[in-house]
Amino acid sequence: MDKFRILRTSLCIYEGLRLIFVLGAFILLQPRSEAAFPWLGVITPGALFLLITVFWQVNISAYRLYGPLYLAGKGLGIVSTMFWLFFARNDIMREFMFNEAALIFAPGIIAFFVLGDALSAWLAATLMKS
């Protein structure tokens, strides 16, 4: 039995939950219906991370080469989230003042994505070294 199977399984579960969460948030907070296509274009590339982890579940030795792509994508995701936080801080603060639910949920969601992506990148790097 592979001693790193639990790492691959946890990565796969995280990426599946992350994609479901993002799609669910899109459905609940859906903008006008005619503007749905561009938003889905932003969300659906995240499915590639899930596919990479599924491929690692099937055969890690054959798909180990996808590791740098996974790490680069996670790094870009973390950096782009940080830039978004920097440039959207005024809008975020205004939303906090007018919506108490945003004050509770927004920091948790952002922390979930940034910390989850950082942890998944660390797990993927561990898998690539094994």
pLDDT tens sequence across 21-80? 888 777 776 656 666 666 677 788 889 999 999 999 999 889 999 999 999 999 998 888
Exposure letters 71-96 (e unless 16+ CB within 10 A, then b): bebbeebbeeeeeeeeeeeeeeeeee
pLDDT of residue 92: 64
pLDDT of residue 31: 58
The residue ranges of every structural domain in the chain are: 5-129
pLDDT at position 32 is 61
Give the pLDDT confidence score for residue 93 in this predicted structure: 65
What is the per-residue pLDDT for 37?
66
